[in-house]
Amino acid sequence: MSGGLDSTYAALTLKEQGYEIFGITLQMFCHQHPADEPESVDQFGEVKELCKKIGIPHVLVRAEEFFATTVIQNFCAEYMAGRTPNPCVLCNKEIKFGLLLEEALAKGATHVATGHYASVETEEKTNRILLKRGRDHTKDQSYFLWRLNQYQLGHTIFPLAEESKEEVKKKVAQYELNIEDKPESQEICFIPNDDYKTFLKKRYCGDIQPGDIVDIDGNVLGSHKGFPFYTIGQRKGLGISAPQPLYVLDIKPLQNEIVVGKREKLFHRGLIARECNWIKFESLQKPVKAKAKVRFNTVEKDCMIYPEGNGIKVIFDTPQMSITPAQSVVLYDGEYVLGGGIIEEAIDK
């Protein structure tokens, strides 16, 4: 229970269906779930009151230390390595469907239910638990769930699987809880005001230094404010003038350089990914035709997936823009998630 529309809908729906449920909330180092306020300040009064109105118990799980040493530490380390992470993917694996799931099971639950727009089902032939896109493709969140294993998926219920956002709003409004117009959080939960640069500056004061912005031939065009503050494909905020728009093509931490160039240089035929997790099958044994997306807000594109050492090689039918190290490549077979991996590098062959 976050106190938002989607998790509230999940609770209301399950209660109507006769499930015995309780609300469970994580306390973490973030401005949505703060852990650094005086204990006398009840940061979760709104969620507790919401559970009371629904008529279910509420449980608070302290996750500050584990969240800091997994999600926040990884987030910082990746940026300081010149990469651009997606912390929600790791949080789902380790926190929401990791720590929270184990806490829920320890308290007598058999499953956890969340407000994600996604679906799970069991394949009869293989008995594998499959992850499927939510019916509302405009809200589909399967991209963020590719790291979940069979155990986690098998203990999960997604009540919003067949719902649209508008249907969820209408149903919750009937209960007069006054949350149907509550704004959704679009930011990283532990980054105040979505200002990750200030967040990194406070933690790495002195370690982040200005450096050169260079073209692909090594010519210095200007200076940057610190390589962790840039990402592949970035055009605005470079602070350099040129006859045509320039984009960040590469980040070189060891040289403390940002490489820029023309937009066409952002396109690549494929990528190498590591830390793969497979959902529809145990492992990738042979090349497979699929669709893939390299960022959440992009459309999946046709590709071939090849086993490559301890990871995979993905070759697209047409070159893709801004393939970014540490982002997730998520692989689809129609409505089903085959699996995914963490992007290591873009390639052209």
Per annotation, catalytic residue among 91, 205, 276, 303:
91
Q: What is the average pLDDT across 166-193?
A: 84
Least confident range of 26-30, 106-110, 157-161, 208-212: 26-30
Instruction: Identify whether 303 is a catalytic site residue.
Output: no
Can you tell me the distance from the alpha carbon of 88 to that of 30, in angstroms, rounded to the nearest whole number?
A: 13
- Tell me which long-range contacts 150-153 makes (C-beta under 8 A, separation of at least 24): 150/279, 152/93, 152/97, 152/98, 152/101, 153/120, 153/129, 153/279
Using the predicted structure, report yes or no on whether residue 144 has a pLDDT greater than 90.
yes
Q: Which fold has domain 266-347?
A: Elongation Factor Tu (Ef-tu); domain 3 (2.40.30)
pLDDT at 29 over 90: no
Q: What does pLDDT average to over the chain? A: 93
Say yes or no to pLDDT of 109 above 50: yes
Provide the 10 A C-beta neighbour count for residue 80.
Answer: 17
CA atoms within 13 A on the CB side of 53: 15
**Cα 222 from chain centre:** 33
Question: In the CATH hierarchy, which fold is given to the domain comprising 5-193?
Answer: Rossmann fold (3.40.50)
Phi then psi for residue 266, to 5 deg, are -80, -15
Residue 28 is predicted with a pLDDT of 81
Tell me if 342 sits within 8 A of 275, measured CB to CB: yes
51 is catalytic: no
In this structure, the dihedral spanned by the alpha carbons of residues 272, 274, 280 and 283, taken in order and rounded to 10 degrees, is: 100
What pLDDT was estimated at residue 52? 95
What percentage of the chain exceeds 70 in pLDDT?
95
CATH class of 209-261: mainly beta
- 260-295 pLDDT, tens digit per residue, is 999 999 999 999 999 999 999 999 999 999 999 999
Tell me: pLDDT of 40 over 60: no
User: Is it true that 209-261 and 266-347 share their CATH fold?
Assistant: no
Of 88, 189, 276, 303, which is the active-site residue? 189
327 burial type by CB count under 10 A (0-12 exposed, 13-18 middle, 19+ buried)? buried
The model's pLDDT over 42-98, given as tens digits with 9 standing for 90+, comes to 668 889 999 999 999 999 998 999 999 999 999 999 999 999 999 999 999 999 999
**Structural domain boundaries of the chain?**
5-193, 209-261, 266-347
Question: What is the Cα 125 distance to its own chain's centre?
Answer: 30
Q: Where are the beta strands (DSSP E) in 48-174?
A: 58-62, 112-113, 118-122, 129-133, 156-157
Reduced to 3 states (helix: H, G, I; strand: E, B; else coil), residue 121 is: strand
Reduced to 3 states (helix: H, G, I; strand: E, B; else coil), residue 304 is strand
Cα 273 from chain centroid? 16
